[in-house]
Amino acid sequence: MDLSKKTIWITGASSGIGEAVAMQYATLGHNLILSARRQTELERVANACNALGGKCYILTLDLADLKNPETLVQEALAFTGKIDVLVNNGGITQRSLAADTSTEVVRKIMEVNFFGQVALSSALVPHYIKAGGGQFAVLSSLTGIFGFGLRSTYSASKHALHGYFESLAIENYKHNIHVTMVCPGRILTNISINAINGDGSNYGKLDEGQKNGIDAITCAKKIISAVDRKKREVLIGKMDLVMVYLKRFLPYLFFKVVVKLDPTK
Ligand SMILES: NC(=O)c1ccc[n+]([C@@H]2O[C@H](COP(=O)([O-])OP(=O)(O)OC[C@H]3O[C@@H](n4cnc5c(N)ncnc54)[C@H](OP(=O)(O)O)[C@@H]3O)[C@@H](O)[C@H]2O)c1
């Protein structure tokens, strides 16, 4: 194992954007810790990454049920003795109106998208400080910047990540710890197929918007480039990026436009 290479820990590495980020880092020869719930899917990704030149360690975990994050961090550190980047990517979304979404579903989305990321990241910070620094890449979304139909809790969970990780970055700037907030628009992955309805059942459809999204490899390349440059925020999208600028600079116009958009397209 080449220890001059970086060690990258990726959650949600069993599919979609996490898988693509793992494959891109593998082509650069980096060491990878792959996490998600599904062991067999992680093995598939690990085999593909090994073939590309990466070295992989599989660390299964459930972000909704992290009993002992410190133990997971210790296990991750034992792979190469260091972690350079934690890519907080594992996540789920919804396709339900706020009024139709049960409290259980609200809590589940917050557990996976927010509390799970926070638990792993805060357990890693003392090790980063001891090591003289480290990086976090945090998968937010354009809906981490503005609200959107059928995404109330998803959007809330992503907004929460911005407040948490900006504060963490401010506190730890003096320790050489850097955070890159990644805000993609629609990326072609299984995210809408894996989405949940308001009653917790599976949505199970590839939305038209998703189908026309950016491919996951292009997204992964932009993420890695932003992390390499220690960018604090990266927006990844097409025309949907216009909404970010409307929200920031013309909020009145933003609202007039956003209420007319079909949230599945
Ligand atoms: N695709 C988009 O359009 C888009 C846009 C903006 C932001 N994002 C964000 O990008 C990230 C990745 O999404 P994706 O598009 O790649 O979707 P995806 O293909 O559905 O992948 C989601 C990943 O999260 C993992 N995951 C889900 N629940 C988990 C849990 N309880 N514990 C551990 N891992 C869990 C899944 O693995 P297991 O099922 O094996 O656990 C899977 O690897 C998410 O944070 C998402 O919010 C996606």
Supply the pTM of this predicted model: 0.98
**Closest CA relative to residue 147, chosen from 257, 258, 236, 245:** 258
Measured in Å, residue 16 CA sits from the centre of ligand 1 at 7
Q: Is 144 in the pocket of ligand 1 (CB under 6 A)?
A: no
**Number of C-beta neighbours around residue 85 at 10 A:** 21
Residue located nearest, by CA, to atom 36 of ligand 1: 12
Residues β-bridged to residue 183: 235
Residue 2 has pLDDT above 70, yes or no: no
Chain segment 109-146, per-residue pLDDT in tens: 999 999 999 999 999 999 999 999 999 999 999 999 99
3-state secondary structure 127-162: HHHHHCCEEEEEECCHHHCCCCCCEHHHHHHHHHHH
Chain segment 168-188, per-residue pLDDT in tens: 999 999 999 999 999 999 999
Q: Is 91 in the pocket of ligand 1 (CB under 6 A)?
A: yes
Measured in Å, residue 90 CA sits from the centre of ligand 1 at 4
Sequence-separated (6 or more) residues with CB below 8 Å from residue 127: 73, 77, 83, 134
d(CA 137, CA 255): 29
Chain segment 21-64, per-residue pLDDT in tens: 999 999 999 999 999 999 999 999 999 999 999 999 999 999 99
**Closest CA relative to residue 22, chosen from 1, 59, 52:** 52
Q: Looking at the domain 7-258, which fold is it?
A: Rossmann fold (3.40.50)
Q: Which residues are known catalytic residues?
A: 154
Q: Is 141 in the pocket of ligand 1 (CB under 6 A)?
A: yes
Measured in Å, residue 253 CA sits from the centre of ligand 1 at 31
pLDDT more than 90, % of the chain: 97
Per DSSP (E only), the strands in the chain are 7-11, 31-35, 55-58, 85-88, 134-139, 177-184, 187-188, 214-215, 233-236
pLDDT band at 4 (very low <50, low <70, confident <90, very high): confident
pLDDT band at 79 (very low <50, low <70, confident <90, very high): very high
pLDDT at 120 (0 to 100): 98
pLDDT band at 1 (very low <50, low <70, confident <90, very high): low
Residue 3 has pLDDT above 80, yes or no: no
Q: Is 70 in the pocket of ligand 1 (CB under 6 A)?
A: no
Please provide the average confidence, as pLDDT, over all residues in the chain. Answer: 97
pLDDT band at 264 (very low <50, low <70, confident <90, very high): confident
Chain segment 136-151, per-residue pLDDT in tens: 999 999 999 999 999 9
Query: Which whole number is the average pLDDT over 74-90?
Result: 98
Task: Report domain extents, the chain.
Answer: 7-258
**Closest CA relative to residue 200, chosen from 71, 82, 111, 115:** 111
d(CA 71, CA 75): 6
**Number of C-beta neighbours around residue 210 at 10 A:** 19
Query: Which whole number is the average pLDDT over 220-241?
Result: 97
pLDDT at 265 (0 to 100): 87
Sequence-separated (6 or more) residues with CB below 8 Å from residue 20: 216, 217, 219, 220
